[in-house]
Chains A and B, each alone.
Chain A
Amino acid sequence: MLRKLFLKDARLNPHLFWGVIPFFAWVAYALREDGAPVGMLTVVSGVMGAATAATVAAREDRFHATALLASLPVPRETLVLSRYLLAAVAGAACFLGAAALAALLPWSSHALGSIFDPRTVVMALVIAGSSVAVMLPMALRFGLVGVVAFFAVLQVAGVVLFFIASMFGLRQPMRLVFGSVEAGLRALHASFADAGASALALAVLAGALWLSYRLSVWLTTRRDL
């Protein structure tokens, strides 16, 4: 059944997968530069691939195909599981695609060891996985509105942070906010040098994904279509 659902996603939403081609063209171009941040490029590629699952759900919701899908002889729980597996497969494929470009393009000077640095792989898993854990329940329950709301919440959170920083009289609050996020990501990346920290992060991620999946099943089975 999951195989059929994968085929359904691939055949009925193919341009969502073609949509990564311009992105990979940009990755290829970015790799021309000396010292291109290959870790960042592969992580962002992984996140973008994983987000495809939410985009597919949102697109089907826009066409009102969600009700049609729910009328097929497939349990709704299986439909939800297929979304999470699609996120995993598409995320991994995009990560590996970016890694392959970094390894194979003649103008890229990155060694295979630096591309598949375990810290970067764990970082990709954590960021892509946590994005999916938050985004998919919203996309499955609210469709396109859910995906838009996810980004709107991020925007609003940014504005709130900006105002809070301003209230405390901090100069250049935007730099502070983005600087803090960057510093946090760097610290997280550095902490993954420790195998214990990586294992802990992956365990927390697995728990978050499991909770997200159960929440999605709960929301989806209660959703009136």
Chain B
Amino acid sequence: MTADCALEVRGVTKRYRRFTLRNVSFSIPRGYVCGLIGPNGAGKTTIIKLIMNLVRRDAGEIRVFGLDNRRDEVAVKSRIGFVYDSPGYWDDRTLEAQRRVLGSFYPAWNDGTFDRLAAQFELPMRQTYKTLSRGTKMKFALAMALAHDADLLILDEPTAGLDPVFRREFLQRLSALLQDEHKSVLFSTHITSDLDRIADYVTFVHRGEIAFSLPRTELLDTWAVVRGDEASLRGLDPGIVRGRRAGRFGTEVLVSDARAAARAAGPSAVVDRPSLEDVMVLMAGEAGHAA
């Protein structure tokens, strides 16, 4: 465990009756954005809830800025800005009332920052929470998370349900926030295009396990999608194949070594740089076939 890490998750396991999160390990260095991707039901929200100590882990260790998330719960949560996938505010109270009450729990709460964000996001502070659209609710949750000068932002599917204009604005805001190098972000999403713009690291979770956790540039530079017919793909080393999908017009194979794949694939195969969506779709497909 290093002091330069904003978040370290080591060997964390959580068992439910019908789902188990197994031996999850990854870390985020200070000042970096980590995208947590995976299909619905993969375990992303469970990982986030474990970090927030909303669910109890059965094994493993979670440290935030070197502090244990359970033993030093208050200190840890003071430094985290948290946006839930379905924020649970008081439906029949105004945003103003909720901001006044909930902000008081954070030692570093800044009314000026909140007011500025509320103005930028055009939040209707005198309206009750239940009258807001999902996008506006998310904006309010985000403003609440940002107004106490959190060192680590944990965002669980924050862009789901937002219109493209606000989504872009939201991602630009995150990028601006990260110009202060002490801010770190864990950003869970299944909209992988969000991460194309901002993620430094990508952690892929599938069926309760971490499939990989890598710097995004390393992932996109060294991995590849090879497209071709079965014959042209036969020479690929099974050791580098991470995913496969057969379609009507050929087969797509995700490999973790683009150069080796280029050498081994037949002349009719095409080797492309993958997108995060390719990685997610093909890996999820492979795991599906394996099962």
How many inter-chain residue pairs (CB < 8 Å) link A and B?
73
Interface of B is mostly: loop
Q: Does chain A have a CB within 8 A of B102?
A: yes
Chain A residue numbers with a CB within 8 Å of B74 are: 73-75
Binds A, one of B85-93, B211-219, B265-273, B277-285: B85-93
CB of A7 within 8 A of CB of B101, answer yes
In the bound complex, residues from chain A placing their C-beta under 8 Å from that of B88 are 63-68
Determine whether the beta carbon of A73 is less than 8 Å from that of B54: no
Q: Check B73–A72 contact: CB distance below 8 A.
A: no
Q: Does A70 contact B (CB under 8 A)?
A: yes
In whole Å, how far is B64's beta carbon from the nearest beta carbon of chain A? 12
Determine the distance from Cα of A60 to Cα of B89 in the docked complex, in whole angstroms: 9
Q: Quick one: which of A169-225 are within 8 Å of B by CB?
A: 221-222, 224-225
CB distance from A167 to the nearest CB of B (A): 39
Partner of B77, one of A11, A15, A72, A225: A72
Contact A224 to B56, CB < 8 A, known contacts A63-B90, A72-B102, A73-B105: yes
- Please give me the residue from chain A that is nearest to B144 by CB atom: A68
Chain A residues within 8 Å of B89, by CB: 63, 65, 68
The reply on B100 being an interface residue by CB < 8 A is: yes
Whether B100 lies near A71 (C-beta < 8 A) is no
Which chain B residues border A7 with CB–CB below 8 Å? Answer: 101, 104
Q: How large is the interface on B (under 10, 10 to 19, 20 to 34, 35 or more residues)?
A: 20 to 34
**What 1/0 flags go to A34-73 for Cβ under 8 Å of B?**
0000000000000000000000000010011111101111
**Chain A residues positioned under 8 Å from B121 (CB to CB):** none
The residue in A4, A8, A222 that gathers the most chain B C-beta atoms within 10 A of its C-beta is: A8
**Chain A residues with CB below 8 A from B105, complex form:** 4, 72-74
A12 at the interface (CB under 8 A from B): yes
Chain A nearest CB from B93 CB (Å) reads 5
**Assembly CA distance A72 to B74 (angstroms):** 8
CA distance A68 to B103 in the complex (A): 12
Shortest distance between the CB of B88 and any CB in chain A (Å): 3
B76 neighbours in A (Cβ, 8 Å): 73
Task: State the CA gap A73–B72 with chains docked (Å).
Answer: 10
Chain B residues with CB under 8 Å of A8's CB are 101-102
| Chain A residues whose C-beta falls within 8 Å of the C-beta of B101 in the assembled complex | 4, 7-8, 11-12
| Any A CB within 8 A of the CB of B52 | yes
**A residues with CB within 8 A of B:** 4, 7-8, 11-13, 15, 60, 63-68, 70-75, 221-222, 224-225
The 6 listed contacts between A and B (C-beta, < 8 Å) are A11-B97, A68-B84, A73-B75, A73-B78, A73-B106, A75-B73
List the 8 closest pairs (A to B, CB-CB), nearest first.
A64-B88, A73-B77, A224-B55, A73-B78, A225-B54, A65-B88, A68-B88, A72-B105
